[in-house]
Chain A
């Protein structure tokens, strides 16, 4: 699209075309994410209500309170923006945006459907891990700049926790990457097309266990209960968010929900077939690129809905976990990581490697004669970084 637009400009104005396309894509992604965050916040309150034997929001926007997030947002924007006297003003102000930016940038590399990705990279998995890790910077800055002891506690905990959990998270992510043989998320998604037993979680027992380790580490890296050390409200008041109010607080809040959605989408792509549904419905009814551009577009739309549904499911499980479990202590959180998650992830990595060596084509395809409806996975190709929506 950028090239198409650029052809209307003189060569020295090509950057305008690229900037415009970038803005449009960022806007589209932002719309998706902010709407998503609003829905997740509403969902969290509603699910929490149901788990706790109460109704949850039920007034704003009709019976189900689905405008509650909007009302909250208006309230938060209208609130006074307080910067404590002891705070480091500049860092205090930019910290939420750093957090949100990191969470948001992850979506640049997440393909919503086959080829529907803002920035196609051959190292997308690596990019996501690197950028998602930046979120901790915002939190540490917030904790340091707030000038509050509770915030400092929260920031230190976040630093310790996220840095530890990056290791097993990275190890877990390597397993599907190794199975498929590509770091490109589009390739990983394509490799899982067909029926649901083509999904990588069902590839072999090692990938199956890897997913659970991945999910645990993902919970920890997005600071959800039972790992919500940085903002443990019964110990640290609100952790790094103690001194934040109004809009900046809501930016942190959105960053949290955005990263929840991001890791859920990542889990869906790496382990649950990405945009491929459990049943290759789109292929069955002919929504494939072979039948023209419109059917391709419709198939991709279906795929996007698939991925978003899987992401929503992941977020729902996170919400469910949060309202069911008590919180671990910081040393127990780190023990879980260093003593259980890392060795387990390393063992799964080794196991998956041996499995690939023993059953090169995968077990299912060896014993079950399935005609791959979605076509055979395309061979790994070196992808240039210029793809686009």
Chain B
């Protein structure tokens, strides 16, 4: 074998050099889809992270300018595909705002039921895959087992397990099937003890705390600067939840329900903290552990809302109401509305021009903002911390790329 001298300039990133550029993704087990992160690493230390998005771009917004709002509902399903109901709700409310239309109380209650179930399902995926990112496979299976029950409930309602198109402009597609509420209550009863189980295998696990407490600290000012929303913002001690602080068209849905907005104080204390597992001493407000914990506590609040919504639905009688026509003409004008989706604030924009097809349909994704803060959070961390931070931001690429 003859050793061929190689021009060092041609070897782009040789083993001998100090820095190494590594592609994490688009095919990587822990980038939650097709995210590509380019890491500049110095040994195990990451000096720079650059996210590259667009691998899941499907021109959803352009399609929205060629179909009527009700026809676009299935496309919203595929944005945050882990919480399709919440996406449906956001778009439906936006178009209703443009149309100036109100929906029946029964439909509103069903919407709350669906949205909160979606929140639980989405947070379960977030918690489970976060465990997976940190190398713990078992909680993932526990979370997905519970999520399956929610998907069963959804399937019973609308026939689909992932892409529902159930909540639609002007109401919902159909009333709840008989026996559904009992099944939902049964799910809540079964799910309650599982939360303690998840706290045991993840939240309070010593290794879990070591892996995510103090990692990826996002200060409140930085979170606001980057436009972070949802659990990511609340974990940085900003008490802000659109279900309470949003536009009346959205907050009216929730105004009669009792629930807490989960956000730690600047000292890291939670409302009614005595009911929950203790906050470890290592955790810093705004770190990955708090982001995870906020989601876990929000699940409990969603269950509270669900129980109230079930009780309320039982008192309601009469029809659920018909959705608007498939090719309902839109008035001239524009409407923008943000809702509190599980992963953050999901905004939809619609501009009508007097025809059934909107002039513009746009979506504002929270995950996109969360992704933009990633380079800040990961600078100077270790390679193993990158999945820990990405997982705690809980991004879904379908929503980022649309």
User: Is A79 close to B, CB under 8 A?
Assistant: no
Query: What 1/0 flags go to A39-60 for Cβ under 8 Å of B?
Result: 0000000001001111000000
Q: Is the CB of B29 within 8 A of A237?
A: yes
Q: Is the CB of B145 within 8 A of A326?
A: no
User: Is B266 close to A, CB under 8 A?
Assistant: no
Q: What is the distance, in angstroms, from B215's C-beta to the closest C-beta of chain A? A: 9
Q: Which one, B69-77, B348-356, B378-386, is touching chain A?
A: B378-386
User: Is A225 close to B, CB under 8 A?
Assistant: yes
Q: Is the CB of A327 within 8 A of B20?
A: no
Q: What is the distance, in angstroms, from B45's C-beta to the closest C-beta of chain A? A: 10
Q: What is the distance, in angstroms, from A260's C-beta to the closest C-beta of chain B? A: 18
User: Is B372 close to A, CB under 8 A?
Assistant: no
Q: Is the CB of B138 within 8 A of A323?
A: yes
User: Is B131 close to A, CB under 8 A?
Assistant: yes
Q: Which one, A193-201, A245-253, A328-336, is touching chain B?
A: A328-336
Query: What 1/0 flags go to B187-219 for Cβ under 8 Å of A?
Result: 000000000000001100101101100000000
Q: Is the CB of A330 within 8 A of B44?
A: yes
The answer, among B20, B29, B30, B142, for a CB contact under 8 Å with A149, is B20
Query: What 1/0 flags go to B2-42 for Cβ under 8 Å of A?
Result: 00000000000001000010100000111000000000000
Q: Is the CB of B211 within 8 A of A329?
A: yes
Q: What is the distance, in angstroms, from A50's C-beta to the closest C-beta of chain B? A: 11
A52-B138, A326-B134, A326-B208 known; A233 and B382 CB under 8 Å?
no
User: Is A150 close to B, CB under 8 A?
Assistant: yes
Rounded to whole angstroms, the CA-CA distance of A332 and B382 in the bound complex is 11
Question: In chain B, residues 130-173, which have Cβ atoms closer than 8 Å to a Cβ of chain A?
Answer: 131-138, 141-142, 145
Rounded to whole angstroms, the CA-CA distance of A324 and B211 in the bound complex is 15
User: Is B387 close to A, CB under 8 A?
Assistant: yes
Q: What is the distance, in angstroms, from A22's C-beta to the closest C-beta of chain B? A: 33
Q: Is the CB of A153 within 8 A of B383?
A: yes
Rounded to whole angstroms, the CA-CA distance of A169 and B347 in the bound complex is 57
Q: Is the CB of B28 within 8 A of A237?
A: yes
The residue of chain A having its C-beta at the shortest distance from the C-beta of B45 within the complex is A331
The residue of chain A having its C-beta at the shortest distance from the C-beta of B21 within the complex is A149
Q: Is the CB of A325 within 8 A of B207?
A: yes
User: Is A152 close to B, CB under 8 A?
Assistant: yes
Q: What is the distance, in angstroms, from B58's C-beta to the closest C-beta of chain A? A: 26
The residue of chain B having its C-beta at the shortest distance from the C-beta of A49 within the complex is B141
Q: Which residues of A are found within 8 Å of B145, using beta-carbon distances?
A: 53
Question: In chain B, residues 355-402, which have Cβ atoms closer than 8 Å to a Cβ of chain A?
Answer: 382-387
Give the bracket for the number of chain B residues in contact with chain A: 20 to 34
The residue of chain A having its C-beta at the shortest distance from the C-beta of B212 within the complex is A326
Q: Which residues of A are found within 8 Å of B135, using beta-carbon distances?
A: 225-226, 228, 232-234, 325-327
Q: Which one of B43, B142, B208, B383 has the highest number of Cβ atoms from chain A below 10 Å of its Cβ?
A: B383
Q: Is the CB of A226 within 8 A of B207?
A: yes
Q: Is the CB of B30 within 8 A of A234?
A: yes
User: Is A235 close to B, CB under 8 A?
Assistant: yes
Rounded to whole angstroms, the CA-CA distance of A235 and B136 in the bound complex is 12
Q: Is the CB of A52 within 8 A of B142?
A: yes
Rounded to whole angstroms, the CA-CA distance of A332 and B214 in the bound complex is 14
Rounded to whole angstroms, the CA-CA distance of A233 and B133 in the bound complex is 9
The residue of chain A having its C-beta at the shortest distance from the C-beta of B387 within the complex is A234
Q: Which one of B30, B132, B208 has the highest number of Cβ atoms from chain A below 10 Å of its Cβ?
A: B30
Q: Which residues of A are found within 8 Å of B387, using beta-carbon distances?
A: 234-235
Q: Which residues of B are found within 8 Å of A237, using beta-carbon distances?
A: 28-29
Q: Is the CB of B210 within 8 A of A332?
A: yes
Question: In chain B, residues 98-150, which have Cβ atoms closer than 8 Å to a Cβ of chain A?
Answer: 131-138, 141-142, 145
Q: Which residues of B are found within 8 Å of A329, using beta-carbon distances?
A: 210-211, 382, 384-385
Rounded to whole angstroms, the CA-CA distance of A234 and B391 in the bound complex is 11
Rounded to whole angstroms, the CA-CA distance of A152 and B132 in the bound complex is 23
Q: What is the distance, in angstroms, from B192's C-beta to the closest C-beta of chain A? A: 17
Query: What 1/0 flags go to A118-157 for Cβ under 8 Å of B?
Result: 0000000000000000000000000000000110110011
Q: Is the CB of B30 within 8 A of A235?
A: yes
Q: Which residues of A are found within 8 Å of B133, using beta-carbon distances?
A: 234
Q: Is the CB of B29 within 8 A of A233?
A: yes
Q: What is the distance, in angstroms, from B365's C-beta to the closest C-beta of chain A? A: 24
Question: In chain A, residues 213-237, which have Cβ atoms closer than 8 Å to a Cβ of chain B?
Answer: 225-226, 228, 232-237
Q: Which residues of A are found within 8 Å of B208, using beta-carbon distances?
A: 326
The residue of chain B having its C-beta at the shortest distance from the C-beta of A329 within the complex is B384
Q: Is the CB of B210 within 8 A of A324?
A: no
Query: What 1/0 flags go to A330-368 for Cβ under 8 Å of B?
Result: 111000000000000000000000000000000000000
Q: Which residues of A are found within 8 Å of B202, using beta-carbon distances?
A: 326
Rounded to whole angstroms, the CA-CA distance of A91 and B28 in the bound complex is 26
The answer, among B29, B44, B138, for a CB contact under 8 Å with A51, is B138
Rounded to whole angstroms, the CA-CA distance of A237 and B211 in the bound complex is 18
Q: Which residues of B are found within 8 Å of A152, using beta-carbon distances?
A: 15
Q: Which residues of B are found within 8 Å of A331, using beta-carbon distances?
A: 44, 382
Q: Which 9 A-B pairs have the closest CB atoms?
A: A327-B135, A52-B141, A326-B136, A234-B30, A326-B134, A329-B384, A326-B207, A235-B384, A326-B135
17 contacts between A and B (CB under 8 A): A48-B137, A153-B383, A156-B43, A157-B44, A225-B135, A234-B135, A235-B387, A237-B28, A325-B136, A326-B135, A326-B207, A326-B211, A328-B207, A329-B210, A329-B384, A330-B44, A331-B382
In the complex, besides A51-B138, A234-B133, 17 extra interface pairs with C-beta distance below 8 angstroms are A48-B138, A149-B20, A150-B22, A228-B135, A232-B135, A232-B384, A234-B29, A234-B387, A237-B28, A237-B29, A324-B136, A327-B384, A328-B210, A329-B210, A329-B382, A330-B382, A332-B210
